[in-house]
Structure 1
């Protein structure tokens, strides 16, 4: 007998439980897919859209009309005038700054001040600029009161020689002294008439004659970096220089035309003698040059300097003081001697150079180069 079984399910040949499980899983996958689609979506970027321009009402403006009376005139202003009393400033002397030292051209350009030297001469000017030598003049032909008293040449030499022993100006106290002082930054008077000295120092016409006069200069000299040098003199009739109370050079007129045996006795006799082989070898001015002793100035140290110049005859006179710096080579002149720079305590102005060049021989000395004996 055949056993008959009832089968439960929807699909033939498959278990109803399996089919139910399959349907549940299919529904789950469908739900999960829908969630992904709805949650992962590309959000579009928001674009800024400007608002539409607002139309603003326009107002028509009327130009204001102003009536101007043609006859109207501005009122006259009243000026108040006052007198201002200007304070009088003192006469201040400034140091010369032309060229600003060698680094600005050494006298050939650069910054230059027009200094007021007063009455400018080869022996100096009536105004001081500070770094100069002060000159005093005595005329040995006149007494202290201004009375003419003629003097012989030998007497003049004795007086001057006496002064040279002591350097005491009281020796000239019984002779006429000019009340006018002169101030100089250089020691150059090319050959000229001897009457130039009394005229330069303001002597009156009846006293302004040449010969038998003395000029004594004194002042301070410095050198910024320090220097070793010696003076060269060309002089008619005599000149001597003392630094810190020591004579460093003394020269008198020596005619280039006379032979050694015919030369006049030296003004200073045995009080000072040159030790240089170049002394009395080359002509400077109208005389054979005298070469001085070597002198050393320490950097920035102040030294006293004294210069005495005298003239005997009433004809011609001259003096030229040049400087030879140790270790420096100089160009040669037609004699074969060195063309040396002149002694100076400042850059020279054009007016000063004109005075020197007027009677100076070409290539004799140099007036624009060389050391300047000042502390700035």
Structure 2
């Protein structure tokens, strides 16, 4: 009978655990040895990568000749107001004698003689005393300050794109290039979208009434501080705002424009008055209803035009736009009046009623004095319905 020694279960378990630990340790050591050997082999066998900083080579072409851009210099007027006129206009207009002398435009060079130079050599007393100067009371082309009783206007140039590039399809000698654009604006009722097709100057002006005697066409751009950007032809000044009717009543506009004047009320044309050579082309039914042969205007031979009657109620808010335009350059002039139905106005020797200006604010003593200096023309300055601008 032989004797066999046997281990206890606890000893067997401990022995198995030691075996597992030894096996795991051996495996880990083998893996580490293989990895280490691989690293050593890579370091020995692979070529060393050289690092370098690439040389930056620049190339320079020969210096090009500078392009010489010829730019016409435009002399700025020393004064910001139109030149002082004499008192000869009214007398010469009465004689209806055309002057053989071309009237120069001081600020820019006009490409061609104007067809609308008017009669006589100047424009009446007092024009150089400051009346209508930009920054003044809101007459003329307007004031640079936003005054009570004024609406806002901007100058637009048909000859340039909105970015200020010259348009090759505009010729100041071609009447249709002006009238086609005016009629397009008529169809859109002077919408912002239609006006955005043309170059607009930065400086706005604020106008209370329209009374501009014959003056240089360059005065329009100059008043808007744009004499360098806009040549004195193919431009419009567009004023827009809201006014309030002062009373219940029936009214009509009367006016004259060299070359173009229009008024809309609530987007409906109530007056279109233009120089005779374009009047038939830009006429709007109801807006140039009447022209009295013996009713003259103060704008040379431009006819005095009356619009249709329209009725308003007191306190009614009206959307109003007024547009002035010049086609070929030379001279401009504009007047806008308002006639109230049933009012017994005083008359001139020819029976023409003396009408008040259409005013969007109360006339100050200075305004009244300015209107009395308007050459060869009478205004009603006491009974003036004021359609107050909001």
2:267 alignment counterpart: 245
Say yes or no: does 1:369 pair with 2:345: no
Matching residue within 218, 239, 242 for 1:195 = 218
- 8 Å CA contact retained: 2:244, 2:389: yes
Matching residue within 139, 164, 171 for 1:146 = 164
Say yes or no: does 1:225 pair with 2:238: no
Report the 3-state secondary structure (helix = DSSP H, G, I; strand = E; otherwise coil) of the residue aligned with 1:141: coil
Say yes or no: does 1:332 pair with 2:332: no
Report the 3-state secondary structure (helix = DSSP H, G, I; strand = E; otherwise coil) of the residue aligned with 1:296: strand
Q: Distance in 2 between matches of 1:151 and 1:354?
A: 40
- 8 Å CA contact retained: 1:223, 1:300: yes
Superposition deviation, residue 269 in structure 1: 4.0
Report the 3-state secondary structure (helix = DSSP H, G, I; strand = E; otherwise coil) of the residue aligned with 2:250: strand
1:178-217 paired onto structure 2 within 5 Å: 178-203=201-226, 205-217=227-239
Report the 3-state secondary structure (helix = DSSP H, G, I; strand = E; otherwise coil) of the residue aligned with 1:283: coil
1:285 alignment counterpart: 298
Alpha-carbon spacing, 1:206–1:303, altered in 2? closer, same or farther (3 Å)? closer
Alpha-carbon spacing, 1:228–1:265, altered in 2? closer, same or farther (3 Å)? closer
- 8 Å CA contact retained: 2:286, 2:307: no
Q: Distance in 1 between matches of 2:221 and 2:346?
A: 36
CA deviation string 1:217-253 (max 9, x = no partner): 1112223332211111111111111111221121212
Alpha-carbon spacing, 1:162–1:374, altered in 2? closer, same or farther (3 Å)? same
Report the 3-state secondary structure (helix = DSSP H, G, I; strand = E; otherwise coil) of the residue aligned with 1:331: coil
Matching residue within 260, 263, 266 for 2:280 = 266
Report the 3-state secondary structure (helix = DSSP H, G, I; strand = E; otherwise coil) of the residue aligned with 1:163: helix
Alpha-carbon spacing, 1:216–1:247, altered in 2? closer, same or farther (3 Å)? same
- 8 Å CA contact retained: 1:221, 1:302: yes
Alpha-carbon spacing, 1:313–1:253, altered in 2? closer, same or farther (3 Å)? same
TM-score (norm 1): 0.60
CA deviation string 1:194-233 (max 9, x = no partner): 1111011110x43353221011111122233322111111
CA deviation string 1:36-80 (max 9, x = no partner): xxxxxxxxxxxxxxxxxxxxxxxxxxxxxxxxxxxxxxxxxxxxx
- 8 Å CA contact retained: 1:214, 1:310: yes
Q: Distance in 1 between matches of 2:225 and 2:216?
A: 16
2:329 alignment counterpart: 314
1:7-18 paired onto structure 2 within 5 Å: none
- 8 Å CA contact retained: 1:274, 1:293: yes
1:1-376 paired onto structure 2 within 5 Å: 118=135, 122-149=140-167, 151-152=171-172, 153-167=175-189, 168-203=191-226, 205-254=227-276, 266-269=280-283, 271-272=285-286, 274-276=288-290, 278-279=291-292, 281-286=294-299, 287-353=302-368, 355-363=370-378, 365-374=379-388
TM-score (norm 2): 0.58
Q: Which runs of 5+ in 2 are unaligned?
A: 1-133
Corresponding pairs, count:
250
Q: Which runs of 5+ in 1 are unaligned?
A: 1-116, 255-262
Could you say what the CA RMSD is over the residues aligned between the two structures, in angstroms? Answer: 2.6
CA deviation string 1:68-125 (max 9, x = no partner): xxxxxxxxxxxxxxxxxxxxxxxxxxxxxxxxxxxxxxxxxxxxxxxxx835561110
- 8 Å CA contact retained: 1:133, 1:219: yes
Superposition deviation, residue 172 in structure 1: 3.4
Superposition deviation, residue 192 in structure 1: 1.5
2:81 alignment counterpart: none
- 8 Å CA contact retained: 2:151, 2:208: yes
Superposition deviation, residue 146 in structure 1: 2.6
- 8 Å CA contact retained: 2:241, 2:320: yes
- 8 Å CA contact retained: 2:336, 2:357: yes
- 8 Å CA contact retained: 2:157, 2:199: yes
Q: Distance in 1 between matches of 2:381 and 2:229?
A: 33
CA deviation string 1:247-276 (max 9, x = no partner): 11212123xxxxxxxx65524245555444
Superposition deviation, residue 313 in structure 1: 2.0
Q: Distance in 1 between matches of 2:193 and 2:165?
A: 19
